[in-house]
Amino acid sequence: MSGLNLDDFATLIERPDSGVRRDAEERRERIGPRPGALGRLDELGEWLAAAQGAVPVKPVTRPKAVLFAGDHGVAELGVSGGPAEGARTLVRAALDGLGTGAILARRAGVELRVVDMSLDCDPADLPGDVTRHRVRRGSGRIDVEDALTAEEAERAFRAGMAVADEEADSGTDLVVLGDLSVGGTTAAGVLIAALCGTDASVVTGRGGFGIDDLAWMRKCAAIRDALRRARPVLGDQLQLLAAVGGADLAAMTGFLLQSAVRRTPVILDGVVCAAAALVGQRVAFRAPDWWLAGQAAGDPAQAKALDRMALNPLLDHGVTVGEGTGALLALPLVQAAAALAAELPEHA
């Protein structure tokens, strides 16, 4: 398998329509309440208009929550507070409607899609539509070995692209992106530290489930060791994802880039999404113009990545649980901005 040229994304991805955005700004001058009175809702409405290429902006009526799932071998070092059974437990809860993201999605009337990329379980344990893109069973332990082979990294990346195309083709008008992983925040920390040129201690957070000081030190050491393996391949983003990412992170990167190609706006959840987005920015510098940061989780790596991409979180509630939870909390703000921009009447 070959023929995937990441450089093509830099050509294919255009920014949201700046002319339409100016038209949206001018229309905003003609409606009440006065400009600025709605704060960031004005900015969001104008961003959506540019993404849609339409003034007035169209309401967001078909959002979808897409969660990429995977297990990371580095979790065996005791760097995560996630379930001992692995991310399969999180996926099962999401499918049963019992996870935090699933509950919020249901309350918001948002369809939830789970994509298994590298869960460490028998695929027969889960529905076929969840497992059909799986690349392998668990990703490698990134402090001592590659997470994926080069072929697996490309397969995962292409799978993410395929999911983005499926969503665009089905009429999804906004994606809430999240992860269901155990060990994923460690891999995310490595990617962000490598791309931002920082040390392990600067990006090591407490993870989605919270860890004690001893586990934090183990996590910091794992990120440090994986960073040594990441730095020699910084010039090749697929190699970087293979070395220290994982199938879920590779798929999310492909998903984000192809969503930008297809002009589908995306709300990012936590640090795992931020890491994939940062890799995507390295591939195509215009891509982040299609993404919103849903919330600030309080994770130092996420803050570093969002700052590098100049993405200002919509909410700051310190939600670290993942599962798309923080981004789903931000979704009503985006929908409100679209509704106000679309429905407020112009002055006579």
CB atoms within 10 A of CB 239: 17
Within 8 A by CB and 6+ apart from 200, the residues are 189, 193, 220, 221, 223, 224, 227
Assigned domain for 348 exists: no
Report residue 69: phi and psi, to 5°: -120, 145
Give the per-residue pLDDT at 1.
46
Q: Tell whether 100 is covered by a domain.
A: yes
In a domain, 27, yes or no: yes
Regarding whether 268 and 220 lie in a shared domain, the answer is yes
pLDDT of amino acid 134: 97
Q: What is the pLDDT of residues 223-264, one digit of tens each?
A: 999 999 999 999 999 999 999 999 999 999 999 999 999 999
Same domain, 155 and 23: no
Residue 1 lies in a domain: no
Which of the following is catalytic: 46, 323, 343, 346? 323
Domain check: are 12 and 70 in the same one? no
* Domain match, 121 and 34 both: no
Q: Are residues 136 and 34 in the same domain?
A: no
Contact 308, 280 (CB under 8 A): no
For residues 73 and 42, membership in a common domain is answered with no
| Domain span at 308 | 63-333
What's the full length of the chain, in residues?
348
Judge if 96 and 43 occupy the same domain: no
Question: The domain spanning residue 197 has which CATH number?
Answer: 3.40.50.10210
Based on the domain organization, do 51 and 181 belong to the same domain?
Answer: no
For residue 348, the model assigns a pLDDT of: 57
Residue 87 lies in a domain: yes
Burial track 175-187 (b if 16+ CB lie within 10 A, e otherwise):
bbbbbbbbbbbbb
Residues 37 and 90 in one domain: no
Main-chain phi, psi angles of 115, to 5 degrees: -120, 110
Task: Flag whether 2 is in a domain.
Answer: no
Residues 53 and 67 in one domain: no
Give me the pLDDT at residue 37, please: 87
Same domain, yes or no, for 140 and 180? yes
Question: Does the annotation mark 151 as catalytic?
Answer: no
Q: For the chain, how many structural domains are there in total?
A: 2
Beta strands 291-293 and 266-268 are parallel
**Are residues 161 and 19 part of one domain?**
no
Q: Is residue 76 part of a domain?
A: yes
Mean pLDDT by 10 residues, the chain (348 residues): 84 94 89 84 94 93 97 93 89 96 96 97 95 96 97 98 98 97 96 96 84 91 96 96 98 98 97 98 97 94 97 93 94 95 81
- C-alpha distance across the termini of the chain, in Å: 61
Residue 247 lies in a domain: yes
